[in-house]
Structure formats: structure tokens, C-alpha cells
Amino acid sequence: MDNLGCSLTKGESMLEGKQVRLRKIEEVDLPKLRDWRNSPYIRAYTREYRPLNMLNQNKWFSSLLIDQTNVMFVIEKKEDSELVGCCGLTYLNWKEGHGEVSIYIGDQKWQEKGYASDALQLLLNYGFCELRLHRIYAIIFEYNEASIKFFEKNKFKLEGRHREARFWDGKFHDELVYGLLEHEYLEEHI
């Protein structure tokens, strides 16, 4: 069985896929993550509304050490270890067994190459098989067509809609909730 089923992935702090690996965020990654998060292209699809500086980044980085509700990784290409994005499970709720996916590919030149799908499968394996989550969900702004297609292709199901919950570019937009349950994941992968 490859590492997409419920087998432990190899490596101590790294999760290895076909094209990418997920590794823990290091301090040296923070300037790049700040620049990506501040880019208009990423800001359109994330909830952070304030521009971020290194103080924000350093505080967030320190909080990851003690915050039990977030597990974040950088996504790097296996072939040359170049950073291409960031992902993780956030708002982890240990009692109900659920968490939200956060994922982005930092530069458009690295999109549509399968990197995010590879990273998402690693995250799902980690979330369902190691953290024993029951449900993993994503909240997607309705105008984010790439992300809707991305999660649908990865078998997430539309669970609901928060009406006019996002204000962007002068208008209110709906937020879509997409989710995947543990048994749905396992049926696909085992």
C-alpha cells in the first residue's frame, strides 16, 4: 500500500508525496510566507485582511509551538526542495474530531501542476490516519472557482453555504462549506 491509505508516512517531521513533501515551518521560511500572504492574488482567497509584517509572522510562528489547534507545513518540491506553498489543518476541534484545511500555492507559475493535490492527500492522510479526525472541511469563497474545482476533484462534498459572509471587491459573496468524512476518505484509499 502506498502512503495514501492509513499507513504511517515516512520521515520524522516530513510527509512525503509523489511530487512534494510537507515539512515543518522554519524561521527562515517566514519572509517568503509573509510576501505570499500579502500578495493580492492570495489575499483575495484568504480571511486575513491586514497586511502582515515580520512581527506578525514571528508572533504567528511562536504561537504554532503552543497552539494545539493548528498544524501547519510548508509545501516543497521533492526534486529541488524549492518552497511552493503552505498548508495545514486549523481550528482543530479535538472533541468533535474536525479541522479546517488551509492551503495555497504561493506563485501562479506553480499552479495546475498537481502540487496542491499531492499536498492535500498528505494532509488528509495525516488528519484522518494520525490525528484521528472524523471530518476535514474547507471554507471557500464562492468566486474562488479554482478552489471549488480543486476540492470537488479531491472528493469533498458541498455541505452548506454561509450567505453573504464575505465582503470583497465592493460586494458581499457567499462562503461555501465543503467537507470530507473519514469513511469517505478511507473508501477512496483503501
Ligand X SMILES: CC(C)(COP(=O)(O)OP(=O)(O)OC[C@H]1O[C@@H](n2cnc3c(N)ncnc32)[C@H](O)[C@@H]1OP(=O)(O)O)[C@@H](O)C(=O)NCCC(=O)NCCS
Element (H, E) at 99: strand 98-105
CB of 79 to ligand X, least distance (A): 15
Residues 6 or more apart whose Cβ sits within 8 Å of residue 146: 111
**168: region left, alpha or beta (phi > 0 left; psi from -120 to 50 alpha):** beta
Give me 161's grid cell.
453555504
- By beta-carbon proximity to ligand X, the closer residue of 116 and 123 is 116
CB of 160 to ligand X, least distance (A): 15
- By beta-carbon proximity to ligand X, the closer residue of 61 and 143 is 143
- By beta-carbon proximity to ligand X, the closer residue of 23 and 37 is 37
Cell numbers 510548508: residue = 74
CA-wise closest residue to 112 among 143, 140, 150, 75: 150
Alpha-carbon span 88 to 91, nearest angstrom? 10
- By beta-carbon proximity to ligand X, the closer residue of 48 and 96 is 48
Alpha-carbon span 86 to 58, nearest angstrom? 16
Name the β-bridge partners of 155: none
CB of 172 to ligand X, least distance (A): 18
CB of 105 to ligand X, least distance (A): 4
CB of 139 to ligand X, least distance (A): 6
Which pairing describes strands 71-77 and 83-93: parallel, antiparallel, or unpaired?
antiparallel
Binding site for ligand X (CB under 6 A): 42, 45, 103-105, 111-117, 138, 140, 144-147, 149-150, 153
- By beta-carbon proximity to ligand X, the closer residue of 56 and 117 is 117
